[in-house]
Structure 1
Amino acid sequence: MNGMPASPITELNDRARDVFRAVVESYIDSGAPVGSRTISQLSGLHLSPASIRGVMQELEELGLLAAPYTSAGRMPTDTGLRLFVDGMMQALEPSADERAAIEARIERGSGPIEDALAATTAALSGLSACAGLVFVPKRELVVRQFAFVALSPEQAMAVIVSEDGSVENRVINLPPGISAAALTQAGNYMSAMLSGLTLGEARARIGRQIDAERAALDDAARALIEQGLAVWSEDGDRRPVLIVRGQARLIDDAAAADLERVRDLLDDLEGKQEIARLLDSAREGDATRIFIGAENKLFALSGSSVIAKPFRGVDGHVVGVVGVIGPTRLNYARVVPMVDFTAATLARLMT
């Protein structure tokens, strides 16, 4: 991490630690610079405003606090927040209601996995009062089995089972005159021909196979096979790499006084490629990564923080990264464990 202070947290005396903690926690709670009189009114410190002003001045000289504009109050710098998060923060585990809310949204039905990821991101956003993020590197499914299930004379459900055990469905329109036997034939044919291939490989093979075995398939079955593969191939090309939910939560009462910062942050979120690159860097290892403000050049203007945690699939490999983005004054003690819990729950979804 860059910008570490000259004096680590272990070298601050007890009085400086107490004042520093009080300033940070008050700032996180209010979003406003904190004055010495406010700190002196907190129970347990037993320090006069004059004494607190002296300590705050020392902390400012160490680069842990700053006085914005002409305000008499102080607020933690990015370096100060880093020191607090790494050395002083006491994590608050998610409540039973918060855990239940996350798990309920993660429970996956028969739809695309992206639907479950989007619901998860929305739930995390709502609970953390930040924007929720989930990043899944683009990857093609490896096919295990295809099937077609009739819904009506005009529509069927195309079902694909991938090698990782996930099941996804899409509704397709049926060619005129297709029979139940043709649905079964088409599903069996695709499973036999394409099992073990990625969607891209399957798309390349299917045309050649259909031409070579034209006599063995009737026109309706050929049309169904081509349509069934097309819907998956098109969907694979569109698979989102980054899902963002809850941007509106970034515009709170405190942010209203700093609309330029919020505008910069929303611009950052629109530039998804840069956010995706940042989250991709969090895929290494198992630890929760916390990016605070100007520590990352992407957020130098918007003054934002990202908390991100990788989650793994059935094979133990990292599947993606889940997290939140918000102002640097976000409640790290509450949100970090929430992100950890969400990542663990997503990992169970993938197994």
Structure 2
Amino acid sequence: MDQLNADLKVAIVHEWLESYAGSERVVGELLNVFPQAKVFSVVDFLSEKERAFLGGRKVTTSFIQKLPFARKHFRNYIGLMPIAIEQFDLSGFDLIFSSNHAVAKGIITGPDQYHISYVHSPMRYAWDMQAAYLRQSGLEKGAKGLFVRWLLHRLRNWDVRSAAGVDVFVANSCYIARRIKKVYRRDALVIHPPVDTDEFVPPTTAASRDAYLVAGRQVPYKRVDLVVEAFRRLPNQKLIVVGDGPENEKIRALAAGAPNIVLRGKVPHAELISLMQNARAFVFASEEDFGITLVEAQACGTPLVCFGKGGAADIVREEGDPEGETGILFQEQTPEAIIDAVNRFETLRGNMTSERCRQNALRFSRPAFREHIRKLADHVMAEGC
């Protein structure tokens, strides 16, 4: 760490600490860049086995930490979170990073402090996905539904107002940068989230590459059902399906009677890496903010066949790319579009070498993320915003 960054008094404000997932990886890498940083979070209910990325640091939490039933139901206090996040005393810090997908960017800072907000997404359920959230939660009608609509209206107003306190917005993909522009009318720098490309690596021996792979939690928006339906109509192509979830029965029913489709359920982490290393291509039909799993597959030397909206457009190099193609994008979430993409892939797959896929993934490595963050901090502190 250079001397400029070493002398900075840095705070990292995270939404909530419940499990170690994508946003927590970002916090972990920020702490690698700024080991002197203090961590703040609305609540901290991380288990001991998931706390390693914090390096033994004590987390400063808000009053919500001690409210009744907060451990299991802290999300029910979302209406209080704007007040909670505003109560953190950050007056002693030079640079504050907020890790935001709900309220973290709402911290209050002074004119001589710099606030960089790394946005995983603006509040989806309060903005363009409100209708889907209300529908899936059974809140489209009734008094409770009316209350939730009023609450989301209040959150939207606060969300826009609090954006004024951010000096630099950072988005995890071009897709999220567009959402930031739409919601806050602010430009955002894109710094992709860190992916562990040291753990996800190409196989040491020749890969079989005889089956396509789809993996992930089987929930409606992941659209695993579309992939299974497509491969029912591609009897000469084998598909391995990994994962479980609420859609599992539906997936099983779709796969019934299709000998080319193998359901593996939830598998150990090491086995998932092995399946990625040996897949013909990794198939993905969801619209994601970024898509860490896609980069993990590429790091294993595996091409992608995926829906071309969201973060996938940042990841996949298509035919004609000067760096060489690493996958196929399809533009509609339909079985027919997936079938067409698979057929196109079979024509072009010889160009999508394992080395090209691996090199593409390294753009999103942990060292690359740290270098981007370090340069941003240097620029902000040396030249202002």
> Which TM-score band (shorter chain)?
under 0.3
Instruction: Point out the structure with max Rg over C-alpha.
Output: 1
| RCO higher in structure (CA 8 A, sep ≥6) | 1
* Structure (1 or 2) with the greater helix fraction: 1
